[in-house]
Chain A
């Protein structure tokens, strides 16, 4: 298992290198530079700024300079946040995004699995249809619609929760963003769980268990839940991706200084180093996550053990 993990990690190095090269070329290929603004600068001042950020060097030299820095763990200074380095920004933004994403994910799994199982056990009843209709609504309405409605209702009208992030303290400010982020995922997980649970409940080993006199709870708890979870587990990868991209929108709407917001702003501002830093960070994270999912798969299903 350890050997397998190490091999996978080594295999990731060329992938990451490719990501860095492509990302570097793409951000530099985007028209416009990081310091362009409506207010054009005199040529000598533009030259001074370009020199300060080595933008006057040929592209391959800039790339070598950048890569050397990255290999030493230095992602460079942000062009837009002139007082901050990219590493600093990622270090403060990522924990926030992680907290937000992980809470949303947890909420999605717990509520989604419960609702999905419930619907499966009560198949074709009014309750089943109600839960599934709710799930369909959750999938259909985009986050950028749900979030402002939640804010208007719960923060502005009822004043139960804070409307924004900055200046508010404690866990309360997490509630609305987490719900907005989790809702579509709850819906997906619920639908997946329902379908898979219905399949499993109809399978032979469940019938055998029933024949042995086991109650429904015991069957679901000890026999059906685990295999029914496999599709949900496979969905975790796309779900994490969806939550990552969803968090871009949610962070923007609630003004949360997470990675998503810095990524979008960085791209719009042509903050080369910030965008590259976040891309490298995300790429590394995804490679690691893929590995973890593969290992988890083996742990949950003995038929796919890695040697």
Chain B
């Protein structure tokens, strides 16, 4: 028996040793090396081809490895980028950009006005199948090109010489400059694109006109970038290497942050929020963000069709303060308007009831319910659809109980996979109330108000108000920013009176930023270019 024990011991020891060896053979990483920035990215970019992107994540990476005509300062102010200057004609219809003579691609080629024109034409070309073609829909003929009625060459863009780009618009577009900061309008290198085709975006092939270039892309894992020596403003770039780690799980990202493997997170898990607030208050960056979380009504069917008092009552009875304090709990602001606070050159309107206490609102809402034909004897029965997720569920449960307590409404909660919910929202057949959200494309009230115009594809409540559409149309043709602003604000007032949606809260951006990261500034766009950051530890070692 002794032998057996010895033999078995030997075998187990060998197994343990094998595991131990396995763990020792790799060099142990002692935290990030100097001048390397590791950032968390909530999901893979779907593409690194500027004209093919769609997601926030792709935009984040592209802002490091590309550059548009204009860009932003760390605090979110618009500044010249690949274009050193521009002028706008008096009628607001023509923009003339002057491209920097020193702007270079990572392979040394000059960045030219013609490349920008080529890329804008490519964006609206049906053959590109670009998601964001509609972003430049205000450029002359863009819509007709997208729908195949005109050739891409007809687009209102022209390179009059290698450094001058002239863009002509259908109507004054005060936010046009913020559109040319958008990565979808970044230039591609036409020569290399023709040479490599589908392999254009591969590491080693993809040229960059931004502060960094792509060294490696492992889908589902990491994008490795290094300093672009040819970049016109390379002297101002502090960090040599930037790794964007694809971390879809917020808890995994947090573990890696705690282990010192990444210095900037893309999110903060809700369950760890309070703990982190105590442990690392200095590292938490919570800031207003251009996004609204809302419940939409299906206005094409009963009970909400042509029943404004009912919609208003349901909107009033939601105690948003309780929701943001106890459920979302990460600094979100309760929403009493449709356009978030902090939008440039705009003052959001507010619900008429915004100044009342919740008790007053509930009392008012009960009167409205009676007016709408419902009461304790004839309770309203509705279905609320939301996509499967912990936070969505908790909010839905709270709203269900608020409606029940205040208005005796019987709400059936239906959770659906996100793609299923989207399909149901679009079809507008089975939906009554649905959860949705809207994130602004640019820092202008138009990006929020625009989607509720009749016929807009994102107008899932199917809101149709002649008054609203007319105000939006008037705003669109205004060159004078003050007059335009008044039209937009009036449009929002109409919207808030009609209650096609229940805005619930405004989003915040949430990041953990390591103590060694210098130059981070919170901004409403939540854009954080790596080229604006530096590392305290690397300054010490250099």
Contacts and interface: CB of A to CB of B under 8 A. Distances in A.
Contacts of B131: 35, 41, 45, 49
A134 B38 CA distance: 39
Interface stretch (B41-49, B59-67, B339-347, B401-409): B41-49
B422 A38 contact: yes
A174 B27 CA distance: 13
B255 A38 contact: no
Interface in B119-166: 126-131, 133-134, 137, 143, 146-148
A287 interface: no
Nearest to A44: B147
A220 interface: yes
Contacts of B126: 44, 48, 51
Interface residues of A, number: 79
Nearest to A220: B4
A69 to B, nearest CB: 15
A262 B460 CA distance: 31
Interface stretch (A12-20, A159-167, A236-244, A293-301): A159-167
Interface in B421-463: 422-424, 426, 436-439, 457-458, 460
B255 A83 contact: no
Contacts of B426: 36, 40
Interface stretch (B8-16, B177-185, B186-194, B228-236): B8-16
Nearest to A176: B23
B382 interface: no
A167 to B, nearest CB: 5
Interface in B246-278: 246-249, 251-252, 255-256, 258-261
Interface residues of B, number: 77
Contacts of A168: 26, 29, 261
Given A40-B457, A83-B48, A255 B26 contact: no
Contacts of B130: 45, 48
A192 interface: no
Nearest to A217: B3
Contact of B436 (A38, A170, A217): A38
Interface stretch (A3-11, A110-118, A204-212, A227-235): A110-118
B129 A51 contact: yes
Interface stretch (A58-66, A135-143, A147-155, A278-286): A147-155
A237 to B, nearest CB: 23
A37 B422 contact: yes
A209 to B, nearest CB: 14
Interface string B70-84: 000000000000000
Nearest to B53: A82
B540 interface: no
Interface stretch (B218-226, B392-400, B479-487): B218-226
Contacts of A170: 25-27
Interface of B: 1, 3-4, 7-8, 11-12, 14-15, 18-19, 22-29, 38, 44, 46-49, 52, 54, 126-131, 133-134, 137, 143, 146-148, 198, 201-202, 218-222, 243, 245-249, 251-252, 255-256, 258-261, 417-420, 422-424, 426, 436-439, 457-458, 460
30 contacts: A32-B418, A32-B422, A36-B423, A38-B437, A38-B458, A39-B458, A44-B143, A48-B130, A48-B148, A80-B44, A81-B47, A110-B14, A110-B15, A111-B15, A114-B8, A114-B12, A151-B255, A163-B255, A163-B261, A166-B218, A169-B26, A169-B27, A175-B19, A252-B248, A255-B220, A255-B221, A255-B246, A255-B247, A268-B418, A268-B419
